[in-house]
Structure 1
Amino acid sequence: MTTVRIHLTRHGEVFNPDGILYGRIPGYGLSDTGRAMAERLGEWFPENTEAIRALVQSPLQRAQETMAPIARALDMDPVTDERVIEAANQFEGLKVAQDVKKPANLVKVYNPFRPSWGEPYVEQVHRMRAAMATLRTRLTGIARAEGLDTVEGVVVSHQLPIWVTRLAAEGRPLWHDPRKRECALASVTSFTFSDATLEDMLYTDVCADLQPQKAVPGA
């Protein structure tokens, strides 16, 4: 029996002085603190894992900049998977503190359970699970070829897709209060599988001391 562990990792803090909900908008890279978070992850993974054999990243800049120190530390080349991208959101480009609350935008918030303003939660779960299944199959093949009992992979993605994937795995409703997500910047949510069966999940706030004092817009 092969143990496969997949570490869903949120990107580091983004440079976003205007408080824009950036979503999938290109050009949003890491802040100085975000780069420090990424470097911390590059130190953390070699020290806290057994056999990482695959790296997967979102196509967005902030995820790829977060992955870079990890890839460098492990001397591995990441692959980009569109399925682990940030959730689509109709509020992209708006300032969270003021624009989202305008009447023309509030009408989009008619169904928080779906949610009506963006990519449905269930669709996020489906694409994330598909990406994880592909990675799990790849890692299982590597484990058999190398004679490993345990093999691991790292996926750098985004808060909401990671969080709803965890909620689904725990059998909880996908609708939630965004303020209560346990998915801090540069945190790691680890899924452990025995063959195709999920056996365990573990959340680690790797950069607890570097977290901002207030919520960060943009995800």
Structure 2
Amino acid sequence: MPSSTVHLLRHGEVYNPAGVLYGRLPDFHLSELGRQMANTVASHFAQRALDGARVVLLAASPLTRAQETAEPSAKVLNLVVRTEPRIIEAENHFEGLKVTPRELLKPKHWPYLVNPLRPSWGEPYEEQAARVLDAARDAARRAAELGGDGAEAILVAHQLPIWMARLKAEGRPLPHDPRKRECTLASLTSLTIDTLTGAVTAVRYTEPAARLLPGAATTPGA
């Protein structure tokens, strides 16, 4: 069974002193801590390469924070960062706002809160999972073309779309409590994918930057 591993890498911490839900807004850069996270992940992949891993493909969401997270890994692996629009952050009605209980009480938001299972405030969970898994399958096949059986790819993306892809791959329900997502800043959700059928045969989760998480932003999607 020929396979490739696709590492879904969540971006590092973002500089966001106003605490808004920045979603797909442009020009939200990594914080200094976020840059440390990106460098730590790059060191992780550099060591993997030294140990024999063949990481042959690197792509990132079009958003600034994902591109900046990818840069250190591109340097150590001598790869070009491709842009993959299918792994962009989810659409969200509350983009640009600081989401507080007081804000949610405003009548203008009520139509967007009627169905948390879809969810009604943004891009449907099923659509997020589908687009990320499609991108991962294509990356797995391309990695195999470039590096042969067992080659690896990195896709730098965002918490919610990554979590949706993982839940879908594991056959779990997509509606969830955002506080229980297992997808910290600069974490890796690694999918082993059969390059012939596109089936996800294994899922592994790791936190290369775990030592930098204490004190980092904890807001879902931050």
| TM-score, scaled to structure 2 | 0.91
Corresponding residue for residue 58 of structure 2: 55
Structure-1 separation of matches of 2:127 and 2:43: 33
Q: Does 1:13 align with 2:6?
A: no
Corresponding residue for residue 83 of structure 1: 86
Q: Does 1:115 align with 2:111?
A: no
Structure-2 separation of matches of 1:156 and 1:100: 31
Is 198-207 or 77-86 further displaced after alignment?
198-207
Secondary structure of 2:151's partner?
strand
Q: Measure how far apart 1:215 and its partner are.
A: 2.1
Counterpart pick for 1:138 among 130, 142, 160:
142
* Percent of residue pairs identical: 48
Q: Measure how far apart 1:140 and its partner are.
A: 2.1
8 Å CA contact 2:12–2:34 kept in 1: the answer is yes
Give the aligned residue type for 2:32.
D
Alignment of 1:167-206 (within 5 A): 167-195=167-195, 196-206=198-208
Q: Measure how far apart 1:126 and its partner are.
A: 1.3
Q: CA RMSD in A?
A: 1.6
Corresponding residue for residue 64 of structure 1: 67
Can you list the C-alpha shifts for 1:78-124, whole angstroms capped at 9, x where unaligned? Answer: 10011000000000010123534434324411100000000000011
Corresponding residue for residue 150 of structure 1: 150
Q: Does 1:94 align with 2:97?
A: yes
Q: How many residues align?
A: 215
Structure-2 separation of matches of 1:106 and 1:48: 48
Secondary structure of 1:56's partner?
strand
8 Å CA contact 2:4–2:193 kept in 1: the answer is yes
Which aligned runs of 4 or more in structure 1 are off by greater than 6 angstroms? none
Structure-2 separation of matches of 1:164 and 1:218: 13
8 Å CA contact 2:8–2:162 kept in 1: the answer is yes
8 Å CA contact 1:10–1:157 kept in 2: the answer is yes
Q: Go from structure 1 to structure 2 and tell me whether the alpha carbon gap of 1:106 and 1:205 turns closer, same or farther (over 3 Å shift).
A: farther
Q: Go from structure 1 to structure 2 and tell me whether the alpha carbon gap of 1:189 and 1:77 turns closer, same or farther (over 3 Å shift).
A: same
Gaps of 5+ in 1: none
Give the aligned residue type for 1:199.
T
Q: Go from structure 1 to structure 2 and tell me whether the alpha carbon gap of 1:218 and 1:191 turns closer, same or farther (over 3 Å shift).
A: closer
Gaps of 5+ in 2: none
Structure-1 separation of matches of 2:3 and 2:135: 18
Counterpart pick for 2:128 among 124, 130, 133:
124
| TM-score, scaled to structure 1 | 0.93
Is 134-143 or 38-47 further displaced after alignment?
134-143
8 Å CA contact 2:159–2:220 kept in 1: the answer is no
